[in-house]
Structure 1
Amino acid sequence: MTGRITYRLNAALERYLPEQRLFLRSDTETRFIRLSPTTQALTFATGALVIAWTILATAMLMMDSIGAGNAREQTRREQLAYEARLNALSADRDSRTEEAARAQQRFNVALAQVSQMQSALLASEDRREELETGIEVIQKTLQRAIHERDAARADLAATRAKLVAEAKAPNTRAGRIKDVEATLDVLTRTLAATATQRDQIAADAAEAKRQADQIALDKRLMEDRNNQIFDKLEQAVTVSMKPLDKMFRAAGLSTDKVLKEIRRGYSGQGGPLTPITFTTKGEPPTADEIRANEILAGLDKMNLYRLAAQKVPVGLPLKTSFRFTSPFGWRSDPIKGTKRFHEGLDMAGRYGSPIYATADGVVVRAGWSHGYGRLVVIRHAFGFSTRYGHMSQIRVKVGQRVSRGQRIGDMGNSGRSTGTHLHYEVRTAGKAVNPMTYIKAAAHVF
């Protein structure tokens, strides 16, 4: 049955594919291979299938290549836009830094003026107290002179009455007249001296009043100047505090929590600024004292903010040129090609570029870690920690305290990596967060 079907198939194909023979000749004999129509049809079908598969595979490869080219072009455009945003952030950061420096200079100048003003105010207070004491002495002297004058007048009247009574005796008239004349001379000289002293005391009192009026005018002028200085100081404090507030808000931190934490753990020299007071009599503070104490409170708060800024991981861990090669979030794994979540930022740069700590903290890990290669982990305040992976060299040890901006290692290509770069992570309460949030937050201050 099978032979009959084969025969009929060969007969049908004979018209299109006649039987062929392939001769093979050697030195001693000649042989041939018979190629039936069915065999030829199978050969042609197999070749057609191979050609069709080749064309299909080529088309699929071309489509994949075109798609990959579009993806690379899209990635390049996104990278250019990303770099443009980073340049804008860098320019904004520079302008903020210059603004903070100018505000600090204005604050220093205003603080020096306040110091001079306080010294002048204390000197004027001492001078006023001295003038008040002098006026009080002059008034007492004037009152005593008036009492002496009245007493002298009373004595003169009594003496005149006595002389009039004694004048009735004729034998002593000439003597009594001489005594009266002598007494009158003494009284006249005494009254003249008292009048002169009185006039001098009146002149001294008038001069003291003039000086008191001049001191009052100087005091009013000084108060106006103090108001101007206080206004400048308040503006300087506000300008200096605004970037710090923006930075902590951008980092998602509560300013009250930050200040409470810093006050609790602050152990540096200096401490909070002492409120100003000019009296020890238990009197309520003046308006200037209240404003000065408010400014000092603002300076204390700004000082605590600056201490906190050193403990929060904001800013970049690199100071040399680099480029961002992989953002935070879902991405295609560079080695396996599968979809994976990237918990940090990749920054590619020159091999051996210095890597710096982004905040004060304690090194809790420094060594080889699977995937990360040479890894440094730093624990910071407020529940933050940072990771620096793929280093070529580690320059810190576990338990070492590091400061913001301290060099902790060099950029490399260790671990699971396709090229020289730094893998940088920021974690809060052990959970990875986008480091770009804190890099952008630093643009308000640093």
Structure 2
Amino acid sequence: MTSSDSRAPASGPELAVAGLLSRRSLTISRSTALLGLGLLALTTAWSGVTSWYILRKDDLAARLINRETSRQYAYEDRIAALRADVDRLASRALLDQDGVEARVGEIAMRQAELESRQSLVNAVAESLQSAGIGVSQAAKTPLRQRMIKPEEPIRASGVTSFAPFASRKPTPAPDTPPLRGADDRSAPWQSGEAEEPVPPARRVAEALTRLDQAIERSSATQLAALRDIDRTLGDTQKTLRGALAETGLDTDKLAAATAVARGVGGPFVPVRLDASAGPFETTLNSLQPRIAAVARLRSLVEQLPLRRPMPGDLDTSSSFGYRSDPFTRGLALHTGIDFRAETGSPIRATAPGKVVTAEYSGGYGNMVEIEHAGGVSTRYGHMSAILVSEGQMVTAGTVVGRVGSTGRSTGPHLHYETRIDGDPVDPSRFLRAGSKLAGQL
């Protein structure tokens, strides 16, 4: 019997235990193998990353440095560009400010010229008003207010200066935002986007433009006033000459002989204007001789007996000229006009002057004679009462006596005469001239 044959055959339980141990050994061996493979892969990856980092470390650092350097250069270029923009804006603002100051100075000079012209217009209007010549309301109205004062900064919608934008400090934002709708209660509701605020430079430019336009309008108004005065003077001169032509007098000679108004005077300082400077100066230069001529004519009108000796409609009973004498029935010269009126009716002076006779005078009866300018005199006869005395100065409209029938008279009436240098002339010529100037006497 061999050795192998000498082993005892294994029993059943032992075979089961041996199989179990064999399977556990096989399971442990697979887990250990997988773990080992995982560790090996991780180690290999780490080694690869470490090797790549070590190899690429200098390249990454260089890229990072280059990127940061590029950003820094970009920021510096941006800052330099912003500084250049700020400097450009500041320079532009300074230039704009110089331009604004120059325009303000020009406007101030134009305003001073405007005020000087207005004083001339006012002087012309006052001289015409004192002479009794009506002028338009535009010529009477002075400048209401100064448009711009040199001592004050120009203001345009809250902008008091035109300083460079670079010197202005930014306004800090509020710490806490306002509640929604808190600031919109007083403002009307608007749809769409909010309007952009108007730049200060534009507001100042618009304000200066408005001042320019206001000065232009005032200048045009002054020129229109002068031209209106010129037309008024032309019409007045034509009316006065036409009315005085009715008297048959040499108005130029009489106007030169009339006295100037009393209570005025002063040194003579003539106003010299360059007629080529513009339409205002040209118009004003052409006005001066016409103003003087109209003033002389107006003064002559005021001193000539152009008014009626009695109020109301005059009832003429006998005209000037040759007639049949009421007493002798022979041909005789009637040196005046007879106006029939009731006894006691007031008789008024027809022009200002000096009483040279106030007494009973033959066929005139109670008579008053008044001496006027230019050798013109008036006589009032047949009065029932004399109310002035010899040497008395009277004005136009002064009651000199009452209607009567004294002297060589057939009934109550006024015998009215006008004389030039002592020679009788037809009073109707003066009365017709006065009727043409109705409302101006």
Pick the TM interval, shorter chain: 0.5 to 0.7
The answer to whether 1:251 aligns with 2:247 is yes
Of the three residues 380, 392, 398, the one matched with 2:390 is 398
Cα distance change of structure 1 residues 106 and 387 upon mapping to structure 2, 3 Å threshold:
closer
- Equivalent position of 1:329 in the other structure: 321
Of the three residues 228, 234, 243, the one matched with 1:232 is 228
The answer to whether 1:424 aligns with 2:416 is yes
What aligned pairs does 1:90-129 form with structure 2 within 5 A after superposition? 107-113=135-141, 115=142, 118-119=143-144, 123-124=146-147, 126=149
CA contact (8 A) 2:223 2:279 kept: no
What aligned pairs does 1:154-303 form with structure 2 within 5 A after superposition? 193=166, 207-262=203-258, 264-269=259-264, 286-292=278-284, 298=290, 301-303=293-295
1 or 2, which has the higher helix percentage? 1
Q: 1: CA distance between counterparts of 2:327 and 2:218?
A: 73
Cα distance change of structure 1 residues 432 and 107 upon mapping to structure 2, 3 Å threshold:
same
Give % identity.
30
- Equivalent position of 1:19 in the other structure: none
Q: 1: CA distance between counterparts of 2:214 and 2:371?
A: 57
Q: After TM superposition, give the deviation of residue 261 of structure 1 in Å.
A: 2.7
AA of the residue aligned to 1:330: Y
CA contact (8 A) 2:386 2:400 kept: yes
- Equivalent position of 1:319 in the other structure: 311
Q: After TM superposition, give the deviation of residue 409 of structure 1 in Å.
A: 0.4
Q: After TM superposition, give the deviation of residue 428 of structure 1 in Å.
A: 0.4
Q: 2: CA distance between counterparts of 1:410 and 1:421?
A: 10
Q: 2: CA distance between counterparts of 1:429 and 1:300?
A: 26
Q: CA offsets per residue over residues 317-371 of structure 1, 9 Å max, x none?
A: 1114541111111111100111111111111111111111111111111111111
CA contact (8 A) 1:110 1:233 kept: no
Q: 1: CA distance between counterparts of 2:371 and 2:310?
A: 19
Q: Secondary structure in 2 aligned to 1:376?
A: strand
Q: 2: CA distance between counterparts of 1:433 and 1:217?
A: 60
CA contact (8 A) 2:139 2:226 kept: no
**Higher-Rg member (1/2):** 2
Cα distance change of structure 1 residues 354 and 308 upon mapping to structure 2, 3 Å threshold:
same
CA contact (8 A) 1:272 1:300 kept: no
- Equivalent position of 1:370 in the other structure: 362
Cα distance change of structure 1 residues 320 and 216 upon mapping to structure 2, 3 Å threshold:
closer
Of the three residues 428, 431, 437, the one matched with 1:439 is 431
Q: 2: CA distance between counterparts of 1:399 and 1:365?
A: 8
Q: 2: CA distance between counterparts of 1:283 and 1:390?
A: 59
- Equivalent position of 2:346 in the other structure: 354
Q: 1: CA distance between counterparts of 2:369 and 2:257?
A: 22
Of the three residues 381, 405, 424, the one matched with 1:413 is 405
Q: Secondary structure in 2 aligned to 1:365?
A: strand
AA of the residue aligned to 1:288: F
Q: CA offsets per residue over residues 363-401 of structure 1, 9 Å max, x none?
A: 111111111111111111111011111110000111011
The answer to whether 1:340 aligns with 2:332 is yes
Q: 2: CA distance between counterparts of 1:312 and 1:105?
A: 17
Q: After TM superposition, give the deviation of residue 243 of structure 1 in Å.
A: 2.5
AA of the residue aligned to 2:306: V
AA of the residue aligned to 1:348: R
- Equivalent position of 1:93 in the other structure: none
CA contact (8 A) 1:325 1:348 kept: yes
AA of the residue aligned to 2:340: A
Number of equivalenced pairs: 276
AA of the residue aligned to 1:368: Y
Q: Secondary structure in 2 aligned to 1:315?
A: coil
Cα distance change of structure 1 residues 354 and 193 upon mapping to structure 2, 3 Å threshold:
closer
CA contact (8 A) 1:321 1:349 kept: no
Q: 1: CA distance between counterparts of 2:148 and 2:233?
A: 29
AA of the residue aligned to 2:309: P
Aligned-pair RMSD on alpha carbons? Answer: 4.0
Q: 2: CA distance between counterparts of 1:289 and 1:119?
A: 22
Q: After TM superposition, give the deviation of residue 256 of structure 1 in Å.
A: 3.2
Unaligned runs of 5+ in 2: 1-128, 155-160, 171-198
Q: After TM superposition, give the deviation of residue 295 of structure 1 in Å.
A: 5.0
Q: 2: CA distance between counterparts of 1:212 and 1:218?
A: 10
Q: 1: CA distance between counterparts of 2:149 and 2:409?
A: 75
Q: CA offsets per residue over residues 258-287 of structure 1, 9 Å max, x none?
A: 44333x54324489999889x9xx998653
Q: Secondary structure in 1 aligned to 2:304?
A: coil
Q: 2: CA distance between counterparts of 1:435 and 1:255?
A: 17
Q: Secondary structure in 1 aligned to 2:374?
A: helix
CA contact (8 A) 2:375 2:421 kept: yes
Q: After TM superposition, give the deviation of residue 257 of structure 1 in Å.
A: 2.9
Q: CA offsets per residue over residues 90-132 of structure 1, 9 Å max, x none?
A: xxxxxxxxxxx9xx8972523334x2xx445xx246469966x
- Equivalent position of 2:125 in the other structure: none
Q: Secondary structure in 1 aligned to 2:135?
A: helix
Q: 2: CA distance between counterparts of 1:220 and 1:323?
A: 58
Q: Secondary structure in 1 aligned to 2:338?
A: strand
Unaligned runs of 5+ in 1: 1-100, 132-137, 143-191, 198-202
CA contact (8 A) 1:275 1:296 kept: no
Which range moved further: 305-314 or 329-338? 305-314
Q: Secondary structure in 2 aligned to 1:393?
A: strand
CA contact (8 A) 1:248 1:441 kept: yes
CA contact (8 A) 2:275 2:281 kept: no
CA contact (8 A) 2:369 2:378 kept: yes
